[in-house]
Amino acid sequence: MAIATVNPTTGETLKTFEPLTSEAVEDKITAAQTAFGTYRHTSFAQRRQWLHQAADILEATDRVAEFAQLMTLEMGKTFREGEAEVRKCAWVCRYYADQGEAFLANQFVETDAGQSWIGYQPLGIILAVMPWNFPFWQVFRFAAPALMAGNVGLLKHASNVPQCALAIEEILGQAGFPEGVFQTLLIGAAQVAAVVKDPRVQAATLTGSEPAGASLAAIAGHEIKKTVLELGGSDPFIVTDSADLEEAVATAVKARMINNGQSCIAAKRFIVTPGIADAFEEQFLATLQALKVGDPLAEGTDMGPLATADIRAQLQQQVAAAVAEGAQLCLGGAPLTDQPGYFYPPTLLKDLPPDRPIAQAEFFGPVALLFRVPDLDAAIALANQIPFGLGASAWTTVPQVRDRLIQELEAGCVFINGMVKSDPRLPFGGIKRSGYGRELGIQGIHEFVNIKTVWVK
């Protein structure tokens, strides 16, 4: 895949980049290793200052608009959602600036030693392989804890958001982080293996598809290097008879269509019990029909285009396969061809037999799957009947039902009466084929440090 900005609203190629040569990649790794030798000894106070300065840059009114527009031009999210993403990046910078030192403080433990404690020390160069769908947030939620811990970062961003990648490197440089501490590698996927294998690179994190995660993990496993993977999801959204219907419907639409439907933690399978099923389907369908699809830079647009032509084509193949396997098409179901760009409408499929292979797949676009089940047991069983385990949302006002859902849903996070979302204060990640390890929270900053036992007589 070429490294280029292709505006998904028009299909126009705006800017192309030549991938770095092997020699240029070597120079960047050398610069990172040199920087780490000094940066690891900087104080928490200094790192805190630099992270707050990065947040200041992100929150400046003119820069918020600049970065939001850049995201819209490269991957098609609405300008409004881009603005929110930029501000969330500032939040994660401030969060780790303020909490990082406490998260990494020595933990003293009483043993037979005179003194013993657990220390947390940086590892060195961490490679981040990041996706296009949240091109700023995915990077900053890695960079903020990694840099606060004293590591240095190399970013291999998705090839369709190169200008976002370069902008993030520029922001961190302007904030004061020394040269070489955070660098973007404009390289293709085929060049990643050599970076992972480089002995100076200590660990890697990847957010993306299952095949990409499996490939990176295999290479890192051979090299015996730590990885964190955040992969796909087909999150259930369970609506029980006791749910607040209006709030559940409004949240369901947002949870499915956020980011033009392109989110790993988007609700994708809507599972409803008998007493609320008819009303939920009617209101859900009506709300989806009312969404405005169009120019993501325009005021009032609810959904922009998909990020690439290939993504749209794959989504259409999945919808066709679902219909062929018995799903009923209630809304949408075909690309919008009356305008340029990669637009796909809100789509609702219902009654897809859950034992069909397509029911196990992740639909990475604005397609909702609606399932009716006879009771709570069946709802939980269907929710868990997939290879993924990223997040789950469930709606009830009955404490006993709530407790069952929390205990029995197989996911890295469960949200009761709310939309699944990432939050700097809480760990984020999945189980099963959704990956392993955690980002964010205290757990996230501990993923890429040497957790060192110290025993002193």
Beta strands 267-272 and 367-372, pairing class: parallel
Task: Quote the tokens at residue 257.
Answer: 């269509």
Q: How far, in Å, CA of 290 to CA of 293, rounded?
A: 9
To the query of whether residue 230 is one of the catalytic residues in this protein, the response is yes
User: What length is written for the chain?
Assistant: 457
| DSSP, res 127 | E
Q: CA 50 to CA 147: how far, in whole Å?
A: 10
Beta strands per DSSP E along 267-358: 267-272, 328-331, 347-350
Q: Nearest CA to 89 among 126, 37, 141, 38?
A: 141
Q: Are the beta carbons of 435 and 129 closer than 8 angstroms? A: no
CA pair distance 52, 181, nearest whole angstrom: 16
Q: What are the tokens at 5?
A: 């900005």
Which residue in 164, 264, 330, 413 is the catalytic one? 264
**Contact indicator for 157, 142 with CB cutoff of 8 Å:** no
Pick the catalytic residue: 74, 81, 169, 230?
Answer: 230
Place of tokens 């490939």: 215
Whole-angstrom distance, CA of residue 95 vs CA of residue 220: 30
Nearest Cα neighbor of 235 from 250, 217, 216, 251 is 251
Beta strand ranges found along 64-197 (DSSP E): 107-108, 115-122, 125-129, 152-156, 182-184
The angle formed by the CA atoms of residues 300, 329 and 325, to the nearest 5 degrees, is 135
Backbone angles phi, psi at 225, to 5 degrees: -125, 145
- CA 132/CA 120 separation, integer angstroms: 31
368 contacts 348 by C-beta, under 8 angstroms: yes
| Residues labelled as active-site residues | 230, 264
